[in-house]
Each structure stands twice: as structure tokens, then as C-alpha cells.
Amino acid sequence: MPNTSTTFMGLQLRNPVIVGSSGLTRSLEKVKECEAAGAGAVVLKSLFEEVLAAKDFGVKDSVMDHSEAYDYYFAHLELLYGSKDYTDMIKAAKAATTIPIIASINCVSTKWWPDFAVQVESAGADALGLNVFTTATDLTMDSNKLEELYYEILSTVKEKISIPVALKIGPWFSALPHLAVEFGQRKLDGLVLFNRFTQPDIDINEMKLKTGFSFSSESEVALPLRWTALMSHYLPYDICATTGVKTSENVIKLLLAGASSVQVASVLYEQGLGAIGEMVAGLEKWMSEKGFENINDFKGKLNFHNAAVPSHYLRAQFMEKIAEYE
């Protein structure tokens, strides 16, 4: 039987299939189910700053309302009590399972990231994923300034904790490889490519805005595949690919492109947790057929650096491919 063990952020995983942050990892029971289904690791449902901020801790009508002191006091209450359920779950998951438990936080204001990070480390999380997204709407803010925000979040969190830290980012950067190298210089331990977002939509009857959400489709895997392949050889940390991963074929392709693991969510909502076992079994079968004993025997074999025809990763408008449909 081939050995499917791999790494993410330096953590040892029994296989590359990680259950991504979602409702599938939001409670101790669900985390135990993921482990029983064969997951290599789990990323807990993100702790969202906005959700904490929306909680009423019973001080809103106090004399401090609207003052700066109130903001400060309120934020500390959130930190003390709002995230307690989360840290309790980390402790319980660590006690009840043996797979790596990766916490995940999503903050809007830079100042609170390090405080949450310290809390999840103290609770015993094996690692921390930072789910960062900023929509560029400020006409005076150039891409350097926007990227500085990511560096600042990463550096301040890395200063405060010693467990490994990953960034989960979206695909919209003008020079992603440069950004990824800069992350490495700030001691990033893993990069998750890419987060998938809800999208704004317009109701044409009501003439109102609404938010659209759907599970991913398999065709979306092409985007993380391309960028994993373009960057994996040059980065000092692990890449974990996500979005559109549905089958063992997808997992194998992403490993060949240089990812060391994948994260899945949509397929598990659609097909149940049994899809984890199918992906791992398909990977083992393929490795046996190809004579690979370990993931490192083929990881990155078809990345941009190693591929015989790397231009496939560069050209976005292959005329001969388009012509087939014209």
C-alpha cells in the first residue's frame, strides 16, 4: 500500500485531504466525524470578528455608549467571552482526536488578529489559518498599500505565536508570485490557494442587491491548479489548494502541480463525508498503478519549473484550443 502521508505548514498529515473551514467543522461532533471519515486534518469553522462584534454583552446602554472608552471596553469583552466557545471547542477537539486541528480566524480590523491568535494557540490548536480578504474600493490606495495590510497582519500574528501560520487568500492580485515570496520572508508556514467568496447579485424584479452563494463546481479547480503550478517550486512553504476539488483526479493533479495538500468543503456537502475516503482510495490506487511509494515521489513533477511544456501554464488564449469551438 503506498504511503499517502504529507505535510501542511510543517504538520504531518496521514493523507492530503483536509476538511476546509465550514459548517462541517463547526462542532466537536462534526470534527470527530471528519476524523472517522479519514480526513488528514480539519480547519475549524472561522471565528469571524463581525459575528463577535454583533453580540450584545449587555453593556450597550451603559454610560460609555458612543465613546472611545466604550469601543475599547466592548472589544475586550468580545475577546474575553465571545471567543470562549471557540477556544473550548479547540480544547475538546484536541482531547478527542489525533489529527491536526487548525483554527481559523477572519478579522476585519488589523488590531484584533494577534489577540485571537494568542487565544487559539493557548487553547492548543496545532496551527492557525488567517482568512484575509479586503475588497479594493479606495481609489487612492495602490496595490502596494493593500499588500502591506497582509504583511502587517502576518507579521504581527507571527510575532505573537509560535504555532505554524497559514494565509488563505483570494486570487485577485496583480503580482501573486512576488507577494508569495514576501510572505515567505515574513516566515509564513503555508499558503491556501484560493478562498472562495459569496458574490453580490442583483434582483431585477425587486431592483435590490442580494448576495449569491452556491457550492463550487469542478471547473473552478483550474485556477488553484494554475497558480499552484506557477509558484510551488519557488516557495519555501507548503501550498494547500482549494476550490473545486471534488475527486481523486483533482487531488492527484494538484499534487503534481506542487500542492502538498488540498482542502474540500462543497463536495462533502453534496456527497457526504464518504467522499474523503473515495479521494484517498483513488489516490492510493493511482500511486500503486504508477509505482509511487510516497507523495514526494511525484509532488510537483508537473509544476511550472519541471513541466516539459511550461507554456501551458502561461498562455491564457491558446488559439488552437479556442479554434476547436469556432
Ligand X SMILES: Cc1cc2nc3c(=O)[nH]c(=O)nc-3n(C[C@H](O)[C@H](O)[C@H](O)COP(=O)(O)O)c2cc1C
Q: Which residues contribute to the site for ligand X (CB under 6 A)?
A: 20-23, 45-46, 104, 131, 168, 195-196, 215-216, 242-245, 263-267, 269
Q: How far is the CB of 204 from ligand X (least distance, A)?
A: 26
Comparing CB distances to ligand X, the nearer of 74 and 157 is: 157
Comparing CB distances to ligand X, the nearer of 21 and 74 is: 21
Q: How far is the CB of 264 from ligand X (least distance, A)?
A: 4
Q: How far is the CB of 246 from ligand X (least distance, A)?
A: 7
CA angle 64, 69, 71 (to 5 degrees): 90
- Count CB-CB contacts under 10 A for residue 173: 16
Q: How far is the CB of 85 from ligand X (least distance, A)?
A: 14
Q: How far is the CB of 314 from ligand X (least distance, A)?
A: 25
Comparing CB distances to ligand X, the nearer of 168 and 299 is: 168
3-state secondary structure of 239: strand
CA atoms within 13 A on the CB side of 207: 0
Comparing CB distances to ligand X, the nearer of 6 and 242 is: 242
Q: How far is the CB of 248 from ligand X (least distance, A)?
A: 14
CA 184 to the chain's CA centroid:
17
- 190: β partners: 166, 238
Measure the CA–CA gap between 289 and 57, rounded to whole angstroms: 59
* Cβ-Cβ contacts under 8 Å for 273 (sequence gap 6 or more): 24, 33, 34, 37
Asked, as a colleague might, if the bond just before 194 is cis with ω within 30 of 0, I would say yes
Comparing CB distances to ligand X, the nearer of 73 and 269 is: 269
Burial grade of 21 (CB within 10 A; 0-12, 13-18, 19 or more)? buried
Comparing CB distances to ligand X, the nearer of 7 and 216 is: 216
Measure the CA–CA gap between 22 and 15, rounded to whole angstroms: 20
